[in-house]
Amino acid sequence: MPGSAVASGIFRATVGEQQDWIGTALAAPLAEPLVRVWIHSAPAVVLGCSQRPSTGMRLRAAHAGVELCVRRSGGGAVLAGPWMLGATVVLPPRHPRVVASIPSSYRWFGVAHVAWLREIGVDARAVRSVGAPGDPSLSWACFAGLSYCEVEVGGGKIVGLAQARRRHAILFSSAALIAPPPWELLCEVFGRPGTQAVALAKCTSSCRQVLGRPPPADSLARSLWAQLAACAALPSVAAVA
C-alpha cells in the first residue's frame, strides 16, 4: 500500500498519494465522516483545479525534484512539504457541518484550526472577509491572499482552506504552515522572480515563527487530528507511527 498509515487517520504519504485517496473518498457513497492529517517529507507543488501545468512548469518541477499535482478543489498553488501539515475532512452530503452557502460552510473548519493553534500557543484568528493579495501578480499563489474563514496570525496567513462538493461527499481540506516554506522553490517551478518569494514570505506566518521552536510535526498532527475529529463527531484519540 502506498505511504504509511495508522488507525488514527494520521498519514505519512506523498502528495500524489494524498490526492489519490481523496479521489477514491469522493467517488463512492459515504456513511460516516473521514478525517486525515497528512505529513509530507518531500516537496510538492499542488495546483488548484482551474490551474493547468505548462510544459515548462513540468520541466522545471522535474529539474528541481518537486512533485507536481492538481487537486480537486479550487484556489491558487500550494507548496507542500515538511514545513506544512495537510488535513482532509470528507463528510456525507447531509452532515450537519454542510450548509447550502459555501462560504458559510467554511466557518466550522476555520474555527477548528484557530482552536488548534491557540491550544499550542499561537494566537490565531479566522478572517471574516476575503482579502485579495497586496500584489496582484501573486494571485496564482494560495498563501498570497486570505479567503473567508482562513486563518492568520499578526496579518500573516498561516492556514489556507479549500472545499469541493460532489454527489456522494463534501471535501474540506487545509494547509497549515508549521515552518516557513522555501517560497523560492515555488517561484522557481512557476518561473517567477525571486522578488515574489520575498513577498510571499512577508504575507505569511508559521508556527515556528510565532513559537520559536514548535512541537514536532507528529505532535502537531495529533492535536490537529483530535480537533477536527471532535468537530466531525469522531473519537478524539490519535496516535502516529
Domain range holding 138? Answer: 4-231
- CA triple 78-146-57, angle to 5 deg: 25
For the stretch 166-209, pLDDT in tens is 999 999 999 999 999 999 999 999 999 999 999 999 999 999 99
| Whole-number Å distance between alpha carbons of 13 and 5 | 8
| Whole-number Å distance between alpha carbons of 205 and 199 | 12
Average pLDDT, the chain: 90
Element at 21 (helix H, strand E): helix 15-27
Q: Domain total for the chain?
A: 1
* Residue 135: band (very low, low, confident or very high) from pLDDT cuts 50, 70, 90: confident
In a domain, 114, yes or no: yes
In a domain, 239, yes or no: no
For the stretch 52-96, pLDDT in tens is 999 999 999 999 999 999 999 989 999 999 999 999 999 999 999
For the stretch 26-59, pLDDT in tens is 998 988 899 999 999 999 999 999 999 999 999 9
Q: Is the pLDDT of residue 238 over 70?
A: no
Burial of residue 183 (number of CB atoms within 10 Å: 0-12, 13-18, 19+) = buried
Can you name the residues that pair with 77 across neighbouring β-strands?
A: 141
| Whole-number Å distance between alpha carbons of 155 and 134 | 12
Place of cell 484550526: 113
Mapping DSSP to helix (H, G, I), strand (E, B) and coil, where does residue 94 land? coil
In a domain, 216, yes or no: yes
Q: Beta strands 170-177 and 156-165: pairing type?
A: antiparallel
Q: Is the pLDDT of residue 160 over 70?
A: yes
Dihedral, CA atoms, 50, 56, 57, 63, nearest 10 degrees? 160
In a domain, 30, yes or no: yes
In a domain, 59, yes or no: yes
Within 10 Å of residue 58's Cβ, how many Cβ atoms? Answer: 12
In a domain, 140, yes or no: yes
Strand spans (E) along the chain: 4-5, 10-12, 34-39, 44-47, 67-70, 78-80, 84-91, 125-126, 151-153, 156-165, 170-177
Side chain identity, residue 79: L
What's the pLDDT at 234?
A: 53
What's the pLDDT at 7?
A: 35
In a domain, 241, yes or no: no
- Interval 89-115 mean pLDDT: 93
Inter-residue contact 192 to 107 (CB < 8 Å): no
In a domain, 20, yes or no: yes
Q: What is the CATH number of the domain that holds 182?
A: 3.30.930.10
What's the pLDDT at 133?
A: 64
Question: Higher confidence at residue 63 or residue 134?
Answer: 63
| Whole-number Å distance between alpha carbons of 30 and 11 | 20
Instruction: Return phi, psi of residue 78, to 5°.
Output: -125, 140
In the structure grid, which three cell numbers stand for residue 142, read together? 494560495
The closest of 216, 215, 221 to 240, measured between CA atoms, is 221
What's the pLDDT at 8?
A: 54
* Residue 130: band (very low, low, confident or very high) from pLDDT cuts 50, 70, 90: confident
The closest of 144, 156, 165 to 206, measured between CA atoms, is 156
